[in-house]
Amino acid sequence: MYESTNSERTNMAEIKIRIEDVSYSYDDKPALRNVTLDVPANAITVFFGPAAGGKTTLLRLINRLNDLVEGTQMSGRILLDGQDIYTPGFDVINLRRRVGMVFALPLPLPGTVRENVLYGPKLAGLRDPTRLEEILVRSLTQAALWDEVKDRLDDPASALSGGQQQRLCIARSLALEPEVLLLDEPTSGLDPISTGKVEASLFELKQNYTIIIIPHSIQQAARVADYAAFFLMGELIEYRPGKEIFTTPRDRRTEDYVTGRFG
């Protein structure tokens, strides 16, 4: 049993993101300690654990969104397709187009549904109206939102319901056709039906994208995870295929958390 899963892991698809011995701190308060982890392509990898575990920080490091935060220190390397994204001179703007991010709260930009979805492509310099229209339809369809908003494309995005707004944010990230999609508790503010829709679209999307998600509950982690990494106080405790970590956790602390003894 263990053997087979181990070989499954070595056989597992190509490594998309390689996190090597990453430590990180905010104003000398450590947030991550020596985290090493490989994220496989075309799968859903889950980062889970109690609050303040460093999950969000690690997620934001993968597309260098934490560059915007002052007073932080980092060591270690993060490789995307074998390239260190923190090498000086690395094109951060292009990186953020390749690695999309969806935040915990739905954050539609001011403007219409259409403007929100096409914000990224337009910034990238795309002007061709037929291409833009294609992107609009494809992204909204992929995010399982098209049917609900196809007649409201020019309504303000803020007029959508919370669940629709969150799927709009997913569509907005997908519009750039990223290779990796990072989702930070994308369903934390959503009702179960909207959550189901978002999860269903994630299963569709993983055929073509590498997905890393911070789930808002252990149940969700277990539902969506191909691979799961358990974080506690900035340390990576256990990282294994999802089916195993939730049924037969190897580390005592993972077991305590998964079975609901703390957290």
Partner 1 sequence: MSRQQPPPQPSPARRGGSYLMSRYLIQRLGFALLTLAALVVVVPILLVIGVIVVRGIGAVNWEFLTAMPREGMKAGGIFPAIVGTLLLTLGTALAAIPIGVGGAIYLSEYARDTWLTRAIRLAIINLAGIPSVVYGLFGFGLFVLFLQFGTSILAGSLTLAIMTLPIIISTAEEALRAVPTEFRTVSASLGGTHWQGICNIVLPQALPGIITGVILGLLRAAGETAPILFTVAAFYLPRLPQSPFDQTMALPYHLYVISTQVPGMPVKIQYGTAVVLLALVLSMNVIATAIRSYFRRRRQW
| Minimum CB distance to partner 1 smaller for 34 or for 94 | 94
Q: In the bound complex, what is the minimum distance in angstroms from residue 32's beta carbon to partner 1?
A: 20
Locate 202 and state its tokens: 């994630």
C-alpha dist (Å) from residue 169 to 65, 186, 223: 16, 9, 22
Amino acid, res. 234: G
Report the alpha-carbon distance of residue 195 to residue 189 in Å, rounded. Answer: 9
Q: In the bound complex, what is the minimum distance in angstroms from residue 54's beta carbon to partner 1?
A: 19
Taking the CA atoms of residue 41, residue 134, residue 98 and residue 207 in that order, the dihedral angle to the nearest 10 degrees is: -10
| Minimum CB distance to partner 1 smaller for 156 or for 263 | 156
| Minimum CB distance to partner 1 smaller for 120 or for 249 | 120
| Minimum CB distance to partner 1 smaller for 119 or for 233 | 119
CB atoms within 10 A of CB 254: 22
Q: In the bound complex, what is the minimum distance in angstroms from residue 13's beta carbon to partner 1?
A: 26
| Minimum CB distance to partner 1 smaller for 31 or for 183 | 183
Give DSSP secondary structure letters for 54-74: SHHHHHHHHTTGGGGSSSEEE
CB within 8 Å of 199: residues ≥ 6 apart: 187, 220, 223, 224
How many CA atoms are closer than 13 Å to the CA of 46, on its beta-carbon side? 29
Q: In the bound complex, what is the minimum distance in angstroms from residue 121's beta carbon to partner 1?
A: 9
- Bridge partners for 35 per DSSP: 22
Q: In the bound complex, what is the minimum distance in angstroms from residue 233's beta carbon to partner 1?
A: 25
Helices (H) and strands (E) in the chain, counts: 11, 10
Using DSSP's 3-state secondary structure scheme, residue 51 falls into coil
Amino acid, res. 61: L
| Minimum CB distance to partner 1 smaller for 157 or for 258 | 157
C-alpha dist (Å) from residue 131 to 137, 145, 236: 10, 19, 42
Q: In the bound complex, what is the minimum distance in angstroms from residue 93's beta carbon to partner 1?
A: 5
Footprint of partner 1 (CB under 8 A) = 63, 65, 68, 70, 93-94, 96-97, 100-101, 103, 105, 107-110, 119-120, 123-124, 156-158, 172-173, 176
| Minimum CB distance to partner 1 smaller for 49 or for 100 | 100
Q: In the bound complex, what is the minimum distance in angstroms from residue 29's beta carbon to partner 1?
A: 18
